[in-house]
């Protein structure tokens, strides 16, 4: 142990050196034999009345003492807004209908993207579909639905043939659902 006086360092005799709960005393040369029998990490400092206490330090004794902390991370790509939907049916067959008859089918639309969507529809094909398809009690051109991310909507699809319909035979068309981001 040394202290600074005037312009030089001088040995400090009879200073107490604390190592954990043990106390050692310096000799006239400012030295002390530290005998520490247990391995571990100890707080060490020195002090003597009339002098400023030394700063505290950690002393590692014996074999390396260590403990592991496992580290783990999953790095994901940045959030990319995505609009995606799944339609439960690829075809709705209304069967054989006579003028004045109505038939219904169901389509389940699942929002599998990570954004809420506004759902709209378009119908193409033969005139009976373009004019007479009903979605959830509304004409297809008035239909609209909001579906949150990860949610689904069951849509009732109806076809009513008017009493005065005069165009017979097999008719074909397409029901197209469009999704846009729900802002």
Bridge partner residues of 182 (DSSP): none
Task: Give mean pLDDT, residues 107-135.
Answer: 95
Six-digit token pair at 86?
Answer: 């799944």
The chain-wide mean pLDDT, for the chain, equals 90
In the predicted model, is pLDDT for residue 67 greater than 70?
Answer: no
Same fold, 2-61 and 85-181: yes
**pLDDT in the model for residue 64:** 65
Name the pLDDT band for 66 (thresholds 50, 70, 90).
Answer: low
Answer whether 0.95 is exceeded by the pTM.
no
Q: Contact 129/173 with Cβ under 8 angstroms?
A: yes
**Domain spans of the chain, in order of start:** 2-61, 85-181
CATH classification of 85-181, choosing from 3.50.50.60, 2.60.40.10, 2.30.30.30, 3.40.50.1970?
A: 2.60.40.10
Six-digit token pair at 153?
Answer: 């909507």
CATH fourth-level superfamily of 2-61: Carboxypeptidase-like, regulatory domain (2.60.40.1120)
**pLDDT in the model for residue 74:** 79
Task: Give mean pLDDT, residues 148-165.
Answer: 95
- Looking up tokens 């040369």 gives 29
Task: Give mean pLDDT, residues 134-160.
Answer: 95
**Number of residues that make up the chain:** 183
Dihedrals φ, ψ of 16, to 5°?
-90, 130
């Amino acid at each position: 142990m040394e202290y600074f006086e005037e312009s030089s360092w001088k040995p400090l005799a009879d200073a107490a050196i604390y190592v954990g709960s043990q106390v050692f005393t310096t000799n006239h040369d400012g030295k002390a034999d530290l005998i520490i029998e247990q391995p571990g990490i100890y707080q060490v400092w020195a002090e003597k009345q009339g002098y400023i206490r030394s700063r505290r330090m950690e002393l590692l004794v014996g074999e390396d003492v260590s403990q592991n902390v496992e580290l783990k991370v999953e790095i994901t790509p940045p959030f990319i807004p995505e609009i995606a939907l799944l339609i439960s049916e690829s075809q709705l067959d209304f069967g054989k209908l006579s003028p004045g008859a109505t038939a219904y089918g169901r389509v389940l639309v699942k929002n599998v993207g990570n954004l809420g969507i506004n759902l709209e529809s378009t119908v193409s094909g033969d005139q009976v579909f373009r004019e007479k398809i009903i979605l959830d009690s509304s004409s297809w051109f008035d239909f609209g639905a909001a579906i949150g991310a990860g949610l689904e909507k069951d849509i009732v699809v109806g076809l009513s043939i008017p009493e005065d319909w005069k165009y017979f035979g097999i008719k074909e068309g397409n029901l197209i659902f469009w999704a846009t981001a729900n802002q």
